[in-house]
Amino acid sequence: MAGVAVSRSWAQGMSSDNVKGLVLALSSSFFIGASFIVKKKGLKKAGASGIRAGAGGYSYLYEPLWWAGMITMIVGEIANFAAYAFAPAILVTPLGALSIIIRQETLHMFGILGCVLCVVGSITIVLHAPQERGIESVTEVWDLATEPAFLFYAAMVLAAVFILIVHFIPLYGQTHIMVYIGVCSLVGSLSVMSVKALGIALKLTFSGMNQLIYPQTWAFTIVVITCVITQMNYLNKALDTFNTAVVSPIYYVMFTSLTILASVIMFKDWDRQNPTQIVTEMCGFVTILCGTFLLHKTKDMVEGSSPSFAVRLAKLTDEDGFELEESALLQFQES
């Protein structure tokens, strides 16, 4: 009886739009997780015969393998884009942790535990996610984006990104992983809000209410393009300079945290929920973070050995002899 009650509660709590967003978000995680692996191989292959992306080169643009990974990522991002049009960011964004699971080739016992934690945390968020806000026009989204609270957040993000790019990247970009990831995550939080706005505009347009006549739709489009190009550029630099197993979990934590913050400020997701639901969602998010941390810590664990939790700096050489410098744990603790 208890199981039936839970099922009924879940069915009543999940709107059709939330279910569509959930399915699209899960599909997105699969494609994006696979794309990280393919893009990384393309970057390494391009770096072996030209200037590495981490050193300011763009030789990866001539590498077919990198483009294969990019196309896979585009498919995933399209699914992700559509998911934001149907469901709130607090439901869609944390499910990105599932893409980290897909990237794992072999799993230690604790790695399996990390996967379980990610899945449990994701289910917790799905079951307690807020309903999508009812919006009838893109102008309503524009009004939300131009409220003082979100304008202040956007100004702080742009100021932080400017300082990171101008001052910190030239000095610490090659040694401090948080510099590149900081730019990607900060810009990413703004891009998700713009993607959601554009997705809503397109959804309303396809339903018969043309939103393309509004200048706000095109303003959001410009912001999306600018943010995505910036993210792609600095994410490539991070992937080329540091180990994928290091970049992925840290990027996920920062990007998801900032996106949830931006969504709470702009769309006021928590205004439609009681404190119990909010706390449960946060517990689900923390559970995912713990699972992500375990997946990271056990990524290179050799059978019969335990990784040290001490801060370590090590050079990793892959099978092609491509050297990558791993200093993420130090940077993560410093941040």
Cα–Cα distances (Å) from 52 to 43, 44, 55, 333, in that order, read 8, 8, 5, 27
Classify burial at 208, counting beta carbons within 10 Å of its beta carbon; exposed 0-12, middle 13-18, buried 19 or more: exposed
| Nearest alpha-carbon partner for 92 in 127, 126, 135 | 126
DSSP type of residue 270 = G
Cβ–Cβ < 8 Å for 250, 332: yes
CA dist list (Å): 312 to 35, 168, 291, 319: 28, 22, 21, 22
Pairing of the two strands 314-317 and 323-326:
antiparallel
Tell me the whole-structure pTM to 2 decimals.
Answer: 0.72
What does each of the 335 residues of the chain score in pLDDT, given as a tens digit?
A: 444 444 444 445 567 888 888 889 888 888 888 887 888 788 887 777 766 766 666 777 777 888 888 898 889 878 888 898 888 888 888 887 787 777 765 667 777 788 888 888 888 888 888 877 778 899 999 999 999 999 999 999 999 999 999 999 999 988 888 999 999 999 999 999 999 999 999 999 998 899 999 999 999 999 999 998 999 899 888 888 887 767 877 888 888 889 989 998 998 888 778 888 889 989 998 998 888 878 777 665 544 444 443 333 333 434 343 433 333 333 333 33
